[in-house]
C-alpha cells in the first residue's frame, strides 16, 4: 500500500467508514496534485488554488461567462485530504452522523477537490451551495458552455455515488487540452 493510500485508510478507519468506501460508491481514490497555483479569493475572502491546467481553464471559463454577462464566483477549489478530514471532524462535533456527512461530502481521499481540478461555483443573488443554483443564469451558462473548458457537473440528480445533487460542483476532466 502506498503512503498516500495508507494515510487515507487511517482516516477512513478513524471515521468508521468502510475501507471499501471507494469501491462501494464507485469513487476513485483522488490524489493531490504535485503543484497548485493561486486562482484568487473565494466568496469568503480565502485564497483558493487549482492545479495549473485547471487554473487556466477556470480562468478562461470565467472570462467567457463574463463576456456573456454571467458572473461565476468561486466557493471552493483544491482541498487537501487533511482539510477534508477537518470538515468531517467539524460536522461530527456538531452531532452530524457520518452517514449524513457522506451524503454531502466525499470521504477524505475521495473528493474531487483533492485533485485540484474541481470547483464549487456560486453567483450573486443565490445562496451558495444550494440547489437553488440550478435556477440561475450561471447554471444555465455552465450547462451550455462548461464542457468547452473541460468541466462537467459530476454529481447530477440520482448519481450512483450516493452524493447529494450538487449543481454548483464542476470538475475538469483529466484529459483536456488547455486550448479547447
Q: Provide the residue-wise pLDDT of the chain in tens; the chain has 180 residues.
A: 699 999 999 999 999 999 999 999 999 999 999 999 999 999 999 999 999 999 999 999 999 999 999 999 999 999 999 999 999 999 999 999 999 999 999 999 999 999 999 999 999 999 999 999 999 999 999 999 999 999 999 999 999 999 999 999 999 986 443 333
From the list 119, 122, 35, the residue with the least C-alpha distance to 77 is: 119
Q: How many CB atoms lie under 10 A from the CB of residue 43?
A: 16
**37 within 8 A of 77, measured Cβ to Cβ:** no
Q: How far apart are CA 155 and CA 146, in angstroms?
A: 15
Q: What is the pTM of this model?
A: 0.93
Strands 73-76 and 47-50: unpaired
Q: Name the residue ranges covered by the structural domains of the chain.
A: 3-20+36-172
> Is CATH 3.30.1380.10 what the domain over 3-20+36-172 is classified as, yes or no?
yes
**5 within 8 A of 29, measured Cβ to Cβ:** yes
Amino acid at each position: 500500500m502506498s503512503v498516500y493510500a495508507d494515510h487515507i485508510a487511517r482516516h477512513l478507519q478513524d471515521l468508521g467508514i468502510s475501507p471499501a468506501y471507494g469501491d462501494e460508491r464507485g469513487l476513485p481514490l483522488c490524489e493531490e496534485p504535485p503543484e497548485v497555483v493561486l486562482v484568487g479569493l473565494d466568496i469568503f475572502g480565502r485564497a483558493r488554488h487549482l492545479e495549473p491546467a485547471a487554473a487556466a481553464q477556470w480562468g478562461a471559463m470565467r472570462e467567457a461567462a463574463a463576456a456573456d454577462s454571467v458572473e461565476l464566483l468561486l466557493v471552493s477549489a483544491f482541498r487537501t485530504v487533511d482539510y477534508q478530514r477537518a470538515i468531517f471532524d467539524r460536522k461530527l462535533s456538531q452531532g452530524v452522523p457520518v452517514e449524513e456527512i457522506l451524503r454531502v461530502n466525499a470521504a477524505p481521499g475521495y473528493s474531487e477537490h483533492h485533485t485540484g481540478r474541481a470547483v464549487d461555483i456560486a453567483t450573486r443573488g443565490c445562496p451558495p451551495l444550494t440547489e437553488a443554483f440550478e435556477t440561475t443564469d450561471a447554471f444555465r451558462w455552465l450547462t451550455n458552455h462548461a464542457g468547452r473548458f473541460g468541466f462537467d457537473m459530476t454529481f447530477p440528480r440520482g448519481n450512483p455515488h450516493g452524493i447529494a445533487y450538487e449543481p454548483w460542483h464542476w470538475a475538469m476532466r483529466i484529459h483536456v487540452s488547455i486550448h479547447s
